[in-house]
Amino acid sequence: MSITLNINGQDHSIDVDPQMPLLWAIRETVGLTGTKFGCGIAQCGNCTVIVDGNAVRSCNTPVAAAAGKTIRTIEGVSENNDHPVQQAWQEITVPQCGYCQSGQIMSAVALLEKSPDPTDNEIDKAMAGNICRCGTYPRIRAAIHRAAELSKT
């Protein structure tokens, strides 16, 4: 079945099983590999993308449910790796292995679009679905506050 996905402002017509998780459509069919597979059951957040402004776990979202919506992936966050969240992530040297960081960044971008200067409680809530096995949580928290600051200037 042909499905049109709008990813990072570009339409992609793909012919896939409508029940296929959006994650695999993005990674294997469209070929954007920045979004990662971690658990397949929406428990780790590695696969987080932004659909119509909300952070969504793409590993258990059927591709059909994303048709006609605006999908943003890590590749669409900025042209030059300089979105305030990316700048803050670099300044505070957040990533270690880096595998979960696309998902972490997408969750943080979605949070900051809704709440430009989030409290620690809001950060806890928005980021609670993203696991980082390297334990970069303290730096993620600091970087979200820093990104909020960078966005103001």
Partner 1 sequence: MKHMNLTRRSFMQITTSAAGGLMVGIHFPSIARATGEGAAAEINAWLTIDPDNIVSIVTPQTEMGQGAFTAVPMMVAEELDIPWENVRHVYASANRHVNNGNLYTTTSTGGSTTVSRRHPYMMQAGASARERLRVAAANRWQVPVDKVTAKQGWLTTEHEEQGTIQGTYGEFAAEAAAVTLDEEPAIKAYGDWWLLGRDIPRLDVPLKTNGTATYPIDVSVPGMVHAAAMACPVPEGRLVSYDFDAVKDMPGVIAAVELEQVKDVPAFTDLRSGVAIVADSWYQAQNALAVMPIVWDYGRGASISTESQMAEAMQLISQPGALVLNEDGNVGRRLDRGVNHDAAHGIIEASANQVIGEVYYRPFETHATMMPPCAVADVTDDRVDVWTFTQDIARSLNEVADQLGRDTENVFLNQTYLGGGFGGGYNMDVHRQAAAISAAVGRPVKVIRSREEDVAQDSQRPPVWGTYKAALGEDGLPEALVTHFVGDEKFPAFSQRGVANMPYLVPSRRHEYSAVQNHIPIGYHRAPGANSTGFIVEQMVDELAQAGGWDPLEWRIKMTEGNEPWQRVLLAMKEKSGWTTDMGRGEGMGIGVVESHGTVAGCVATVAISRRGQIFIDKLDFYINSGYVINPLGAREQAESSAIWELSHAMFGGLVIRDGRIVNTNFDSYQMMKMPDTPPEIEVHLEMSEDQWWGGLGEPTGPPTPPAVANAIYYATGKRIRSTPLAKAEL
Q: Other CB atoms closer than 10 Å to residue 81's CB: what's the count?
A: 10
- Candidate list 12, 14, 20, 150; residue touching partner 1; CB under 8 A: 20
Residue 5 or 89: the one with the smaller Cβ distance to partner 1 is: 89
Q: Which of 4, 10, 43, 119 binds partner 1 (CB under 8 A)?
A: 43
Per CB under 8 A, the list member of 10, 68, 119, 133 interacting with partner 1 is: 133
Q: What are phi and psi of 43, to 5 degrees?
A: -110, -10
Where on the phi/psi map is residue 109: left (φ > 0), alpha (ψ -120 to 50), or beta? alpha
Task: Please give the structure tokens belonging to residue 114.
Answer: 């809704």
**Quick one: which of 10, 27, 34 has its CA closest to 100?**
34
Residues in 47-106 that interact with partner 1 by CB under 8 A: 73-75, 77-78, 81, 86, 89-90, 93-102, 105
Size of the site for partner 1 (CB under 8 A): 59
